[in-house]
Structure 1
Amino acid sequence: QKLKPRCAPQVASTMANMMATMMAIKDSKNFLKKWITEEAMTVKIEAPNAAKLATFLKKHASAGAALRTTCEPAGMDLVDLFVHSYLLWQAPSADATAALKRLKSAFIDWNDMRVSLVSDIIDVIGHKHWRAHDRVSRLREAMNGIFRREHKVSLERLRTLMKKDAVSYMDTLPGMVPFVANRVLLVGVDFHSVPLEEFGLQLLVQAGVFPSGMGLVDAANWVTRHVKAEEAREAHGALIAAVDHMWETNPPKLPKTSSKPSELAPPKPVEEARASAKALVEAQLAAERVALMAERAARREEMRREKLALKAKEARDSAKAGSKPIAGKSAVKPPVKGAAPVKGAAKPIAKPASKAPAKSVLKVVAKVGSKAVAKKK
């Protein structure tokens, strides 16, 4: 009322804008509240279903119990279990067990496999093994991490650690897979955990246990919380059996690769590889033997030449010594009676008469002396 008449229209317009803004804010609050309520209801509907999990595990329990004798034998070494878990990750159990046997027969020990090339290990397990290169690369990285910590390929230290420290030990290894870490802790050290891999999660999503956007780590933790500790190994066996059934009925397609066809060829049998290695070693030994024999022959020839050179030197020395005249003797031998003179031969040097009388003169003197003696008698 106190405003001037000319300001009344402007004030009315400003008040109208303010009222409209307040109404919009109120509507936005109502909309936000309604959206939050709907999202909460949606999340509540899509929460994991424990009943469906129990049904799923019960369905594959019998097949899982049959697999425990082959996949989890009593007294299995922790490193054997570690390698088998890598081979079992995203692969059928039969292929993993067969690949483990081939590895143990092809290499001297696990340290020998650790220092081998990835391509050599793939040749043993087979190029058709699912994600062979990634699997073997991760396995070698983890084994090298174990060797740097323990100075040998051994996991016996896990038996002396608490669960928290053991989990940290396995999770911090390079190239580690959650499925492998949980399986080693469950089967090898008997710690409560349920290993879950990507194909198992996919089957649980199809069974309605998890929503489609569930992560692998969250799903594994949820299954571990909803499965009792004494039933964890049975649950793990049931999940393995379910994955094996998937591989039999609807196997996943192999990813496309740019590798050459020769690299995808099936590996040679272990016996043939051993025979070729043995032939190579024998060829190397034969080459070394031939080289040694050649060296010995050269040494003998060198010694023979040295002996011949020494004999020749001795002959030369004796010849030089024989050419010098000896005192009281002539250097030239007297001619043999009845022998023809040799042409060009040097004539014997006559002895001087003053030095010694001839033998004929001495004989005459001796005869004359003997006759004179006889006459006197």
Structure 2
Amino acid sequence: MLPISYAIRNLLRDPGRLLQKVGGAGIVVFLVFAAGAFNQGMHRILSASGSPQNVILLGAGSEESVERSEVPIQAETLAAAGIQDITTRLGVSAVSGEVHYMAEVIFPTGHKAQALLRGVTPTAFEVHRSVRILKGKYPKPGEVLVGKLAHHNLGVSAEMLSPGQTIKFEGQSFTVAGIFTAPGTVMESELWFDRNDLMTLTQREQLSCVVVRLESPESYASADLFSKQRLDLELSAIRESDYYAKLSAFYAPIRTMTWLTAALIAAGAIFGGLNMQYAAFASRIRELATLQAIGYSRPAIYLSLVEESLLATLLGTLLAVAMVLIFLEGQTLNFSMGVFRLTLSGEIALAGLLTGLLLGIIGSITPAIRCLGTSLPSALRS
């Protein structure tokens, strides 16, 4: 066996070529990390946004978009009376009639942005148990409660949505009453208004949905039966977790495209690496033949060439990890449903490491076999 120091010395022979190998591997692995973080971040936030204990009553035919749904306002009271096993706390039933709306808001600086608005009543906190007010208070008429990550979605600084600041919607000014958090959910990107304010300004007479929190997920049948019995309300019941699972499936093609892009770039890097490695190994055919002549076997030399390639790609992988921790970790990305964070999980780190290993192994197999395939006398004379 050739010592590992031989592979290290050969790497350092040509610093320019080493930088190309390390840089190429680093870019490919970085893209794998980025694609994995993007896919996992989007999937995680949509999965965490829905509780299996919550049931959403939507207008029939609008099961895929709560913004297009219309539910009679009396459905909130009727659902509270007609659905069994509704969670109650201090005598308050966990039934929240809500208005979901996407519209433009204007800041005092003149900046305009599309925002996800939700008109709620205090019972929304009984249904959405992950919501906590970090600063300020629940909004009164003329006020708004903003999600912790709403400023990312709106493209403004956090200070512009701090308590006491104002925003304009439909020509009316609203004061920020507080900031709420709902960790890992799309709600953190929303603006919560008093429901009556939002219904008045949007000239709505109907709700978008009624969200009901049940004692257990098994009680869903009661809500489903209610929606089917009350034909006059034209309702459709769906578990909140299933609703967001459908949204996640809707975004699946986008996630697939990110993986496909990373795979195509990786394939291009492999072919480029094959050419580079062949050029590197071909210039050393006489040296490799000399090693055979002094007693080293072809498998031992082949293993040393693979080690050399692996060292370069693993250095590139370490470079990619550093780039991810500096440029990607904790960064936020906007999509139509809100904002999600990019994080480097164990699964993504493993995928990046495997990519680096595959680049090193696949990129050296063919060049090494081809260079070592030359007969010893011919190689010594080359």
- Same fold flag (TM > 0.5): no
TM normalised by structure 2 equals 0.22
Q: Counting strand residues as a fraction of each chain, which structure ranks higher?
A: 2
TM normalised by structure 1 equals 0.22
Task: Determine which structure has more spread, i.e. the larger CA radius of gyration.
Answer: 1
Q: Counting helix residues as a fraction of each chain, which structure ranks higher?
A: 1
